[in-house]
Structure 1
Amino acid sequence: MNTLQPVEEIKQIQEGNILMPKGFKASGAHAGLRYSKKDIGIIYTETAASSAAVYTQNVVQAAPINVTKDSIAVTGKLHGIVVNSACANACTGEQGLKDAIEMRKLAAQKFGLEDHSFAVASTGVIGEFMEMDKIKNGIDLLEPTDTAEAAEDFGTAILTTDIVTKSCGYETVIDGKCVKMGGAAKGSGMIHPNMATMLGFITTDAVIEPNDLQEALSSITNDTFNQITVDGDCSTNDMVLVLANGAARNEPLTNTHPEWSVFLELLKQTAENLAKQIAKDGEGATKLIEVNVHGMNSKQDSQMMAKTIVGSNLVKTAAFGADANWGRIIAAMGRSGVGFQPEQTTISFGEIIVLKDGEPIQFSEEDVKAYLENESIIINVYLKDGNESGTAWGCDLTYDYVKINGSYRS
C-alpha cells in the first residue's frame, strides 16, 4: 500500500467549511431546546453519499448512535444527518430510542426520502428526554443552502459548552479532478476518546464506496481524534461521520488506487485539524498542548505515552501556571503503562531542553515560563528505545473548568 503523500500536496483552504465540497447543503435553527442559541442542524446532499462512521467506545451508548448504525447498515449510503444540542438522548431507555427514530423519520420526510437515508446525532445533558414537539418544529425550520452562513449556522447549532465553532476545508487533485473535503465538529469537555463529547462531521465530493471509506476513516482515527484529551472522561455520544457524494467524478478510490495515499492524507489532515480545534477549546482552556514522544519501539506505545502526559492533571495545571515542572512529565511517563529507560530520557519545552539523558540540566526558568505562556505549547520527549513516534493533543486545566462543570445543568 502507498505511504501517505507529502503534506505540501494537500492545500488547506482558508475559511474552509463543511460545505466546501460540491453538492452539500446545511442549515441550523433555534428549536427551543436551548434558551436562545441555535440548537438543531442538518447536513444534506441530494445525491446519496457513501458513509462511514466511528463511535464512542463507552459501554453506555446513546440512542442516536444505535439509530445511525442502523441507517448506515441498510445500504452504506446516506443523504445527510440531523443533529441537536442541549439533550444527549442517552440513558433514556425505549423512549429515547423511539425519539431518535422519530427524529430520523422527520428529517427524511422533509426531503421525501426513506427513513434510513438520514443519520442522527445528539449532544448535551445525559438522562433527559427529548422534547419532540420542539424537535419537530425545529426540523420544519431547517432550510439547507450551500452558503458560508449556512455552514456557520450548522456549526453553531451543534455546540454545548464550546466557545467557538470548529470547521476546516482542504482540497487536492485525484485522477486530474479537484477533490474537496470539509469538516465541522463540536467538543469541549468530556473529551478522552476512544472517541469523546465530541461530534465530528466530514464531507467530501470524492468517489469512494462505503466499505473503502470505512477503511480509510478507521485507518486515520487512532492518529487524530483518538489522540486528544481534555479531562479524561469518555462520552456516551461521540461520533465521527464521513459523507462522500462522488460529485468530483474521480475514479473510484480503493486501497489499490494509485492515489489512495492522497485521499488518506486529505482525510487525515482534515481529522487532525478538527481534533486539535477540539483540544484547544477544552472547557475553560487557555492553551493547546501538543506532546510528541520520539524513539520508542512501537507507534502504539508512543501514542499511549504522549496521551498519558497530555492527560495528566498535574501537567495540565503546570501548563496553566507556566511552571517548568518537568518532573510531572516524567512521572506521567512512568505510569503510562509503557516500558522505557528513564536514564536515557530527554525532555524539552519547545526547543528548551530541561532534562537530558536522564540528568537535570541548567536552564533559564524565565525563558521556559515565557514559552509556556504562549497559547500553543509543545512538549517533546526523546527516548532511545526505537524509531517510532507518537503525538497527542490536549489543553491546560483552569479554574473555569470547575466553574463550567459545576453548573453544567444550570
Structure 2
Amino acid sequence: MPRLISVDYDREIRVTINLLELERLAPRRSAEIADQLVEAVKRECFKNLGLTPSVDRSLLYISLSAPSPPTRLGYVERAAEAVERTLRSKLMHGTHYATLFSSKNKLEPFNAAIYTLETAVPESVRFNVLWELARIVRKASGLEAAPLGRNAIAMPSYEGVKMPKTLKAETSVGLVETVYAGNVKITPRKHTRFLKNLVHEAVREKARLAGLQVDRETAFYDYSVLESGEVAVRRGYHFAAQIMPDGYVLLSVTPRLSVEAVKPLTPETAAPGLTVRRLSDGLSGKIISVSGSLCRARIGGVTEEVELGELVPIFTMKELARLGLARKVIAESRKMHARWNFYARKFVETVGSIEIASQKIEFSPDPAPLGV
C-alpha cells in the first residue's frame, strides 16, 4: 500500500499527503483530517525550520513544498514520519506497507571528481543551478553527474581519464563556472544523498527512453485512460530510491494519476499561481505572471519565459467536480490500485537495470511488500 505521507527532494523539499490512502484509513472523516494534516505538516516539517511552504491540492494528493538546502531533508523526513505515526495511532491502525523492489547486487565504492562553484549563486536557487550544470555535463560528456552537498557537483572518475580543471556552462542564472577540487571516495554509507540523486536520474532516463513523460520523481504514460474532450487522465508512478548502508538499492513505487486539460492555455484562461504542465517535456510548475501570449513560469525548478500554447492546466478536485468528472477519475484511480502489483512490475520491467559509475544495478522483478 502507498505511504500516507511521503517526502522527497528535487530542488526543494516536498511533503505529499496521499488522499486515497487517507480515505481508506478514515472514509468518514477524510476531508476533515486532510485539513488537520496539512496544518500539522506545515508546523512540524516547515515552520519549525523557518520555512513557509506553498500548498498544491489535486484530486489525489496534497503537496507542500518550499525551497531549502538538502541538508534539512533528514529532519523533514523524521518530522513527517512522526506526524503519520501520531495519526495512525489515533486512528488505531497498525502496520502499513510500501511496494519495494530490491536490487540484485549492490553498489561498490567508487572515486568521483568534485567541482565546486566559483560563480556566486544565490542560495535560494543554488541547488537548482547545480542540477542544471550536472545535466549539461551529462549531456555533453555522457558521464553521470549530480549535486554533492550545497556548493558542488561530482561525477565518477576513471583511471586514465583526465578530468578538466574547470567546467563552465550557461544556466538559467547566466554563465556558471566550477573548479576541480580533487577526488573523493563515494560510499553508500557516507554519500546516500548523492547516490540517490544518481539513481533517480538514471531511472528518469530509462523511463523517458520507454516513452513515459517524466516530471521529477513521477512518470506518466502518454495516453489518456478517460474518453473526454476536456481532460486527459494518464496513469503513472511516483518512484523513490533508498540507498542501504551495505550498497543495495531499494526502489519504492507508488501509483499516480495526471489529470490535466486537453486544450492549452490562452491569455483568457491563464493566471498567476496556476499549476501547469509543459507539453514539450511533461514538467510541471506554476505561472508567476502573464503578458499576452507569454508567461513567466517556474517549470521543473527553473524560472523562464514560456508560450501559453506550450502549457496545459493541471486540474484539482474542485475543477473536476465542476466538470462532472470527479467520480470517473476516482474510479480510474481505484482500478489502478486494484491491479497495483501488475503496474508496479511493469514499471520495474521498464527500468530493468541502471548503470552507476560503470556498475550495472539490476532490480528484482518481484515486489517485496515490507512493513514500514
TM-score by length of structure 2 reads 0.25
TM-score by length of structure 1 reads 0.23
